[in-house]
A and B are shown apart, each in its own frame.
Chain A
């Protein structure tokens, strides 16, 4: 469908006004919201992720793409809820205690939303208890933790321990990332997955959801 290709281009180019116009027209033409999401918006954001991964797009441009995606989702969300369409998965994510870095986490959030997931972002400087409470409240399939500092990455370990102590470890998969984080560290603290960048994080979360 021509309009679907245009939607993908709008996402790539971060064109908010145009994407809203096209989505509204498609809805008026009785194209189902879930089709728009699955056949145009998610593939469009996948393309954005791929372009970022291979160095053809940069963070500022991806932020514009995310803005366009959000504008489209503002229209689709109420309709998807009305049609009882569920997101492909729910993830709670945050930057661990003592760490105020949010770019990596936000970028992962963009990629996850672009893949059709519901993202509960509990922000930066999140202590272990905040992750535990968010799991109890939102019942996510996956928990994501970010850290940019070698000092704060140890907060991931205490958060995993807190999740276990609360009896919630078996109900969630845990993925970690951030500049100092490695697969070795993920293994050491008992995380289920590690991703070195936002695009790979979205891919790993999909794998975790599929295995759940």
Chain B
């Protein structure tokens, strides 16, 4: 039985074939370097990239795709966080270490505002979130999110070409709420017990929003819809919250994808083993990632392949801290080979990292990951 497809594959073909649980010419290699590594490679203060768009983050990423020779993953358009109409903004403080920016938009319900910090060498972080008070501020955000047209979400789709796939992201419910809520994840979690009635209204709105956004996006035929679910991780959330608030959104979006033949890909880092199991039973998600192993996560990729590999393409899971950041090239080679040995057999596997690579991940470790995929990335059952 052939275990290697000898047809010539572009990176895009290779990824899409693997995502449909097929066997391309080799295992695609897509380390998650979506933010920090490309920003670092520009050599510029991070606020140049994230605030001044000089260069825009997506272009920094595409340069990194070329630099490392990876199979690319363009995910810089997010339907939940999409800024249309544009926000007003002004720098309120600047020093050598950080830029503080106030941002606001006027709505029929009053001003919606937030404050963001742009550190010189790290990605931006929310100093003050949009929803300070749910009852007062949520109608403003609700209004804002209903003003959008998604056509311009696709204006950059040609940038990646055959170097990889073009995806559009929709946040899971927790992803949406942690993004919007002042006080971040802790407050977002407490809201479920402190304001249950309001949270039911927020959820009702977001479910309808996500369903509608998915329908409008699917019409434009992206390569995939990414369910961005970092905050749905069971390192932060709970199975109860996941089932009650995230799952309806995931089911709706993944069902719409299935009907249209568009790949649905979920990212949930940290503790996610139970989420893989729940999604297996109850959703139409096609790709699960990044399947983080201990200590940060709880996934054994071999076990997940055995139990859920007949439904999911698995993408993961070389550890970002112990291996990619602080390990040697030998450590990277060894763990990457073990991942391939555990999860590639029969197809439906993409070699990646257990989450986003840290800023100072050595280039040689990323190169090694790529080399392992190119050299050993077969879909057979032989020892790697």
A-side residues, CB < 8 A to B, are 14, 55, 58-61, 63-64, 98, 100, 102-103, 106, 149-152, 179-180, 182, 184-185, 196-197
- Please give, as numbers and ranges, the residues of chain A lying within 8 Å of B189 by CB-CB distance: 59-60, 63
Bound CA span A199–B380, Å: 41
CB within 8 Å for A98 and B326 given contacts A59-B236, A59-B237, A196-B295:
no
A-B contact count (CB 8 A): 62
The answer to whether A61 touches B238 (Cβ under 8 A) is yes
The answer to whether B298 touches A182 (Cβ under 8 A) is no
Please tell me which one of the listed residues B97, B240, B298, B358 contacts residue A180 in the complex, with CB atoms under 8 A apart: B358
Bound CA span A64–B194, Å: 10
- Please give, as numbers and ranges, the residues of chain B lying within 8 Å of A182 by CB-CB distance: 321-322, 326
The answer to whether A100 touches B125 (Cβ under 8 A) is yes
Max chain B C-beta neighbours (<10 A), residue from A14, A61, A184? A61
Residues of B294-351 contacting chain A, CB below 8 A: 295-296, 298, 321-322, 325-326
The answer to whether A58 touches B238 (Cβ under 8 A) is yes
The chain B residue with its CB closest to the CB of A104 is B235
The answer to whether B122 touches A151 (Cβ under 8 A) is yes
B288 at the interface (CB under 8 A from A): no
The answer to whether B360 touches A151 (Cβ under 8 A) is yes
Number of interface residues of B (CB under 8 A): 32
Interchain nearest-CB distance for A152 vs B (Å): 7
B192 at the interface (CB under 8 A from A): yes
Interchain nearest-CB distance for B161 vs A (Å): 32
B-side residues, CB < 8 A to A, are 97, 117, 119, 121-122, 125, 184-186, 189-190, 192-193, 234-241, 271, 295-296, 298, 321-322, 325-326, 358-360
Interchain nearest-CB distance for B356 vs A (Å): 11
The chain A residue with its CB closest to the CB of B358 is A150
Q: Can you pick out 23 interface pairs between chain A and chain B where the beta carbons lie within 8 Å of each other?
A: A14-B193, A58-B238, A59-B235, A59-B237, A60-B189, A60-B192, A60-B240, A61-B238, A63-B190, A98-B119, A98-B122, A100-B125, A103-B185, A103-B236, A150-B358, A150-B359, A151-B358, A179-B296, A179-B321, A180-B325, A180-B358, A182-B321, A197-B295
7 A-B pairs with the lowest CB-CB distances in the bound complex, closest first:
A58-B238, A150-B358, A60-B238, A60-B189, A180-B321, A196-B295, A100-B125
Please tell me which one of the listed residues A58, A180, A184, A196 contacts residue B234 in the complex, with CB atoms under 8 A apart: A58
- Please give, as numbers and ranges, the residues of chain B lying within 8 Å of A180 by CB-CB distance: 321, 325, 358
CB within 8 Å for A150 and B186 given contacts A55-B298, A100-B125:
no
Q: Apart from A58-B238, A59-B189, what 5 extra A-B contacts exist at CB < 8 Å?
A: A58-B234, A60-B237, A60-B238, A100-B125, A180-B321
